Structure 1
Amino acid sequence: MKNEEISLQTKKKLAQSLKKAMEKKPLSKVTVSELIKDCNINRNTFYYHFSDIYDLLKWMFEQDAIEVIKKIDLLVDAEEAFRFVADYVDDNRHIINCAYDSMGHEETKRFFYSDFIGVMQSVIENGVRQLKLNVSSEFKSLLADFYTEALAGSMLNWLKQREKYDKEEFIQDLLFICQNSIPYLLKKRAD
């Protein structure tokens, strides 16, 4: 086995161990000692791969984001993408809440941003094509960034207040907002 493969396996084992530990206690209470014990590796191996637990958490979220983005790229429309991300958030809510409590709103929101930016760019490009409009790339980029920020923030707010907002209703409301406002804005900005 190549060194890169061994390194990746070690990182994945540490990430799994971190997820397991975060199910039992806050991130601030998780120690390197318990992670290395769970993975049966030494302390030097941990620090060879990561500078600290937050570095491991960041790597773990980046890997999850890569997997989420790969799957989103295969989805046909915005509803599927919103549903996929809402399901991911729902399935991983405890870990995301732990990260939120440790890293704060803005850092956690960046994770969702990377998931949604491609979706929003695709939705906007499809809208331009379907409406047969000519819209500047600068405005399309601004619009994608604006909606991505809004969606990422909304997703985090939903996560923190899930009991107040049914997932299906949340998804349908997001779709309603996007499907009604994006075409309007594109038409208003068309050349």
Structure 2
Amino acid sequence: MQADVKQEITEALLQLLEKKSLEKITVTELVALCGISRQTFYYHFEDVLDVVDWWTRQGAQQLMTQSLQTEDPHRALGLFVDYITEHRRTLQHLLASRWHEQLERRLVQVFTTYLQDALHRMHPNLAMSPADEEAFLQFYTCGISGLLVQREVRTEAEKQTLVNQLYWLLFQNPWGHILHS
């Protein structure tokens, strides 16, 4: 039941984010849209930013679980593209808010986990120092997550092009040969 109320509040927030910036959304609007009391809201969340944090954690966990369950890198990258495309407007509003750093950190964290898993799966005996691995992952994660957020995908053909480009960047180009299986 609690997760349902949290999800309902989150869906209301996402609806409002389609129309306006995060800074302009109030708890009063959320409770009115959900038909709940302020007390119920505050039982589940501290404030509007806490709702955003819960949404990003839930989305990140779901995306991570799905991407790690697939053996096909094209399919896993497609999941990332689909998620960003589906939530583009919301993400744009959040990235334009004063809380953009938290959102960027969450996106980077999700993609780092995926890339680290891919690296270790494809090269279980890779001799790379922890510092080198961290630099490698940070470089690719920041670039790829930035590309995902900046590139607008409108058609299935554009999605496939982006997935293929991401695959090339990660697995086929001369600098990405470490991840190549």
Give the ranges of 4+ consecutive aligned residues of structure 1 lying more than 3 Å apart after TM superposition.
Answer: 103-106, 132-138
Answer yes or no: is 1:42 the counterpart of 2:34: no
Larger radius of gyration: 1
Q: Name the structure 2 match of 1:107.
A: 102
Q: How does 1:48-67 map to 2 (within 5 A)?
A: 48-67=43-62
SS at match of 1:102: coil
- Which TM-score applies when normalising by structure 2? 0.83
Match of 1:118 in 2: 113
Q: Which runs of 5+ in 1 are unaligned?
A: 1-5, 187-191
- Unpaired stretches in structure 2, ≥5 consecutive residues: none
Per-residue deviation, residues 154-187 of structure 1 (Å, max 9, x unmatched): 222225xx57xx333222222212222232599x
Q: CA deviation at 1:17?
A: 0.9
Q: Would the aligned equivalents of 2:64 and 2:114 in 1 still touch at CA under 8 Å?
A: no
For the pair 1:183 / 2:162, whether they are aligned, the reply is no
- Residue 163 of structure 2 aligns with an amino acid whose one-letter code is I
* Number of residues of Structure 1 aligned to a counterpart in Structure 2: 176
Greater helix fraction, Structure 1 or Structure 2: 1
1:168 alignment counterpart: 160
Counterpart of 2:49 in structure 1: which amino acid?
A: Y
Q: 1:103 to 1:71 in 2, by over 3 A?
A: farther
Alignment of 1:12-27 (within 5 A): 12-27=7-22
Deviation at 1:41, TM superposition (A): 1.2
1:39 Cα deviation from its structure 2 partner: 1.5
